[in-house]
Structure 1
Amino acid sequence: MATIKDVAREAGLSTGTISKALHDPQKVSRKNQVKIEAAIKKLNYKPNMLAQKFRASTSKTLVVMVPDIANLFFAKVISGIEAVAQAAGFSVLLGDTKDSLEREREFIRMVETRLADGLINLRPYYKDEALLPIKGVPSVTASSSSGTPSYSVRIDNVAASEKIVKHLIGLGHKRIGVISGLHHNPHTIDRLEGYKKALSQAGIDYDEDLVVEGDFNYWSGLSAAEQFCQMPNMPTAFFCMNDEMAIAAMKGFIDKGFCIPQDLSVAGFDDMDVSRYVVPTLTTVAQPAEKIGEKAAEMLISLIQGDTPKSEEVILPFEFIIRESTGPFQ
């Protein structure tokens, strides 16, 4: 494999001139640039990009830490990040952390050692186990929860959940079940708060027995539906904390002989593409996933470039979409 010394020898120039041409070409004469380009082509020289990143002031790389890379919502957020990063000349490295703090530490070290310029974390802020923010490590939390102490982008999860549950109450449902995320997840906490607020305003007592814990994946929605079907006095409506669990729960209820929405109403959260095509189509809250990614990338790039974003927290609007899966209490 050719080295920078081989290129210098072939071009008849010093290694310093070759290095300058690779990193600061405007300081090298056009005549020498032609010689260097010819030598590089002849020798098929490949610069050591890792070394270049260490020498450069920035690596032009953003790390996106994803707790579950298979999650459809995260895929849309990443799409928004990619669009902004590419337009600004940055590449994006995806880090599937699988909710592992040790994996997060590895990606944080990439910024500390200048292999990357900054981090976007798609895991919401957990007060008791947060690794970020770290001084000197530009970072933004995308799809964050309330109370995030650093730069973040989110929707108002409390208000969105409250909107869903008020809709179900308005249809005449008083016994409303919840298929939640993991109980310690900040999104679960915010969305459960919205559920409780809607019940309280309607004069309905909160019953913790009507909350079945899931984990935001399909199978947990199916499992929760099975648990609800075993209740002697099961709810007539269900608020599911994401669309994946809602869609799986609908299948579970239908397999047990229930009709939706004639017998049971089901609402989700996120408005994934599939929610428009399942039968019945799913009532849900639409998060602007791509816009969340775009704003997070814009904020992070501003931090990397030494600018101060206008606000530490950006709260984007959500949209409540009524479809076929919710109907009046019979």
Structure 2
Amino acid sequence: MANIKDIAELAGVSIATVSRTLREPHKVKPATSKKVNEAIEKLSYKTNLVASSLRKQKADAVIVAVPDLHNSFVAGLVQGVENVARENGIKVMLGVTEGKQELLDRHYEMVAGKQADGMIVLDVNTPSAIINNTSGKPLPIVLTCEYEAILLCPRVRFDNIEVAAEAVSYLVSLDHKNVAYISGSRTLRMSRDRQSGFRLGLRRAGLTVNENIIAGGDYRIETGVEATQALIESGEKFTAIVCESDEIALGAIHTLAEAGLQVPEDISVLGMDNIRFAQYGNPPLTTIALKSSQVGEQAMRLLLDYYLDAEAANREIILPHQLIERKSTAQLLSGK
């Protein structure tokens, strides 16, 4: 029986192009789509590849493993997975890990037991099945944001080093030289990369890192409140704060206001994510847009690609980011 590789070879295109033609024909040039469809017809390959592959697994369901449900980024990612899964007749099951390895592995047991066809992971931990995989082929698991380059698995992420470096560069362009930083959970690769990017941004600007104005906790509003209070009480000079999430940034703005400091007149604040509420902050939040729904959508598509051709699915997608300038940042006034 013909397979996706046969179609790609006959049409003179890549396996990914065949996959895209089957799943998202509107994104493929008409001439390319014509070649692919002619190859499918010539090879008598008239089955919906994605649907038939998943039906063989009998579950028609995937698991999305997340640490908790309190974060807006998580909600957006899950919605993105749901958008693509629904289009393909696949159910989405939610698995909350609480950041525990054993709970994550328990969720994967459902995949191994054919109760689910695959798993999308946003978690500080990596499924043990990937770490212990010696088959030479990727498992039906897609990692999002958290990754290890040496592991054999598809993944979707942002270039978090450049995200944070760009945040610093933007503030430096506004003449800020004393830039504070509030991190999320430092156990996460995403957080470690962003903090590395913060330091890189300062080095690029010829500035030194002041460890006394780096604080952190997790990605909740409460971290923004507590870390900003600690920064104020430290007595160290800073004129801007880079926050690893918009929720942290909103907490920071609240605390600065409570301390009688105005944003951005006294302190500029910049977040990351561009969650729904960022534009409604007081003032509206300058942020770097990281579309978590796009992460979920791409992760689900990678999982579908796994069923089309497992070997071709071992790839990495790095999504773009965008600085959104609003009212929480401003040019530093001379003399500050």
Do Structure 1 and Structure 2 share a fold, with TM-score over 0.5? yes
Partner of 2:112: 112
Confirm whether residue 89 of structure 1 aligns to residue 89 of structure 2: yes
Which residue is equivalent to 2:146?
Answer: 144
Q: Do structure 1's residue 226 and structure 2's residue 229 form an aligned pair?
A: yes
The SS at the match of 1:269 is: strand
C-alpha contact (below 8 Å) 1:112/1:137 kept by paired residues: no
Cα pair distance change 1:282/1:67, threshold 3 Å? same
CA distance in 2, matches of 1:112, 1:293: 22
Distance 1:206 1:88 in 2: 49
Counterpart check, 1:103 vs 2:100: no
Q: Which residue of 131, 141, 147 corresponds with 2:128?
A: 131
CA distance in 2, matches of 1:315, 1:144: 12
Q: Which residue of 1 aligns with 2:252?
A: 249
Q: 1:123 to 1:324 in 2, by over 3 A?
A: same
1:321 aligns with 324
**Cα pair distance change 1:268/1:139, threshold 3 Å:** same
Q: Percent identity?
A: 30
Supply the distance in 2 between the matched residues of 1:151 and 1:227 (Cα, whole angstroms). 40
Displacement of 1:123: 1.6
Tell me how large the CA RMSD over aligned residues is.
Answer: 1.9
Q: Compute the TM-score of the two structures, normalised by the length of structure 2.
A: 0.77
CA contact (8 A) 1:145 1:190 kept: no
* Shift in Å, 1:220: 1.1
Distance change >3 Å, CA 298–CA 322, structure 1 → 2: same
2:194 paired residue among 191, 201, 214: 191
Which residue of 161, 164, 170 corresponds with 2:167?
164
The whole-number CA distance in structure 2 between the counterparts of 1:204 and 1:146 is: 30
SS at match of 1:328: coil
Where 1:85 maps in the other structure, the secondary structure is: helix
Gap change, CA 1:139 and 1:188, over 3 Å in 2: same
User: Aligned partners of 1:264, 1:326: CA distance in 2, in Å?
Assistant: 8
Q: Equivalents in 2 of 1:229, 1:81: separation in Å?
A: 40
In 2, the alpha carbon distance for the partners of 1:137 and 1:146 equals 15
- Relative distance call for 1:189 and 1:262 in structure 2 (3 A) is same
Amino acid at match of 2:149: G
CA distance, structure 2, for counterparts of residue 103 and residue 297 of structure 1: 21
1:267 maps to 270
Question: What is the CA–CA distance in structure 1 between the aligned matches of 2:286 and 2:57, rounded to whole Å?
Answer: 48
The answer to whether the 8 A contact 2:212-2:234 is kept is no
Q: Take 2:222 and 2:290, find their aligned partners in 1: how far apart are those partners?
A: 22
Residue 306 of structure 1: CA displacement? 4.1
- Higher Rg of the two aligned structures: 1
Is 2:176 the partner of 1:179? no
Deviation at 1:122, TM superposition (A): 1.1
**Aligned equivalents of 1:285 and 1:63: distance in 2?**
29
What SS class does the counterpart of residue 239 from structure 1 fall into?
strand
- 2:204 maps to 201
**What are the superposed Cα offsets for residues 131-187 of structure 1, whole Å, 9 maximum, x if unpaired?**
252547410012335736321011111111111111111111111111001222211
**Counterparts of 2:150 and 2:289, CA distance in 1:** 22
Aligned partner of 1:214 in structure 2 is 217
Tell me, in whole angstroms, the C-alpha distance in 1 between the residues paired with 2:160 and 2:287. Answer: 13
Instruction: Provide structure 1 residue ranges, at least 5 long, that are not aligned to the other structure.
Output: 1-54
1:122 is matched with 122
Note the alpha carbon deviations across 1:230-253, whole angstroms, 9 max, x for none: 022231100000000000110001
Q: Which residue of 1 aligns with 2:43?
A: none
CA distance in 2, matches of 1:179, 1:269: 11
CA contact (8 A) 1:111 1:137 kept: no
Give the length in aligned residue pairs.
Answer: 273
3-state SS of 1:82 partner: helix
- Aligned pair partner of 1:298 in 272, 276, 301: 301
Distance 1:208 1:119, change over 3 A: same
In the alignment, the residues of structure 1 paired with residue 116 and residue 314 of structure 2 have an alpha-carbon distance, to the nearest angstrom, of 24
Change (3 A) 1:307 1:284: same
